[in-house]
């Protein structure tokens, strides 16, 4: 049985439960409840959450007041899990904060506070228009993207596939190679149009 490692907050469980329930062959290890051995995971799901702790960012922070309070234990676990998954070539799906954490792990930086991307109506409704690269495997006209930080310098090996159509904030990246490694700023767990992302991610885990 493939083992999926993640850190899912209690308030987000309602979004991921039906997705995982449809794939009973996948065993979830939720490190928010009980960490599993990283050497035994078969895939990594990086989910949304508060800002990365300031101490773990690899860039200057001129105005710390723009940052949300971080969760240091979670961040340390996720950085370790991401490095482990990258080194082993495991499938990775990174969502919202997860996309930012993957980017920082690979040497990238963040825009620490941006306007216009955390409006309440963006949280659960596919209303933000995207501009997609022609080669992107997953292309959506509009997404449910809600965040106040964004990618600045792109991490090593990551390729940008989608941008916000109104201000070019990066919304989707992948890391080309043999393993599945997709990072999205929007929230596929909150919408019905994103099923293929999870299906391909889980199928890749099953093939290990």
- Residue ranges and CATH numbers for the domains of the chain are 3-206 (3.40.50.880)
- Tell me what pLDDT residue 194 has: 97
Q: Sorting pLDDT into bands at 50, 70 and 90, what band is 117?
A: confident
User: Is 55 an active-site residue?
Assistant: no
User: Is 189 an active-site residue?
Assistant: yes
- Tell me what pLDDT residue 27 has: 96
- Whole-angstrom Cα distance, residue 113 to residue 109? 12
- Tell me what pLDDT residue 206 has: 87
Residue recorded with tokens 């070019």: 168
The pLDDT of 73-94, averaged and rounded, is 98
- Tell me what pLDDT residue 207 has: 82
> Angle CA(81)–CA(183)–CA(46) in degrees, nearest 5?
35
- Tell me what pLDDT residue 35 has: 84
The pLDDT of 103-124, averaged and rounded, is 91
How much is the mean pLDDT over the chain?
95
- What share of the chain in percent tops pLDDT 70? 100
The answer on pLDDT for 92 being more than 90 is: yes
Exactly one of 78, 96, 147, 164 is catalytic; which is it? Answer: 96
User: Is 121 an active-site residue?
Assistant: no
Cα within 13 Å of Cα(202), Cβ side:
16
Q: How long a stretch of residues is the chain?
A: 208
DSSP 8-state assignment for residue 137 = S
- Tell me what pLDDT residue 144 has: 95
The answer on pLDDT for 130 being more than 90 is: yes
Q: Which of 95, 64, 69, 67 is nearest to 82 (CA)?
A: 95
The pLDDT of 27-56, averaged and rounded, is 95
Exactly one of 78, 161, 171, 189 is catalytic; which is it? Answer: 189
The pLDDT of 70-81, averaged and rounded, is 97
- Whole-angstrom Cα distance, residue 51 to residue 59? 14
Residue 142: which residues within 8 A CB-CB, separation 6 or more?
A: 126, 127, 128, 129, 130
């Amino acid at each position: 049985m493939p083992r999926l490692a993640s850190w899912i907050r209690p308030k987000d469980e309602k979004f991921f439960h039906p997705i995982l329930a449809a794939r009973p062959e996948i065993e979830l290890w939720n490190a928010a409840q009980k960490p599993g051995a990283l050497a035994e995971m078969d895939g990594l799901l990086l989910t949304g959450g508060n800002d990365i702790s300031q101490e773990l960012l690899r860039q200057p922070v001129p105005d710390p007041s723009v940052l949300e309070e971080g969760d240091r234990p979670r961040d340390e676990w996720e950085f370790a899990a991401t490095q482990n998954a990258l080194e082993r070539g495991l499938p990775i799906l990174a969502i919202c904060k997860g996309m930012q954490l993957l980017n920082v792990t690979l040497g990238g930086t963040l825009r620490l506070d941006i306007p216009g991307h955390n409006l309440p109506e963006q949280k659960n409704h596919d209303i933000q228009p995207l501009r997609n690269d022609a080669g992107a495997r997953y292309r959506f006209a509009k997404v449910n993207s809600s965040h106040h930080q964004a990618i600045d310098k792109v991490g090593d090996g990551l390729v940008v596939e989608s941008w916000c159509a109104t201000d070019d904030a990066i919304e989707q990246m992948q890391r080309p190679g043999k393993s599945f490694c997709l990072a999205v700023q929007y929230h596929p767990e909150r919408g019905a149009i994103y099923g293929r992302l999870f299906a391909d991610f889980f199928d890749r885990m099953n093939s290990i």
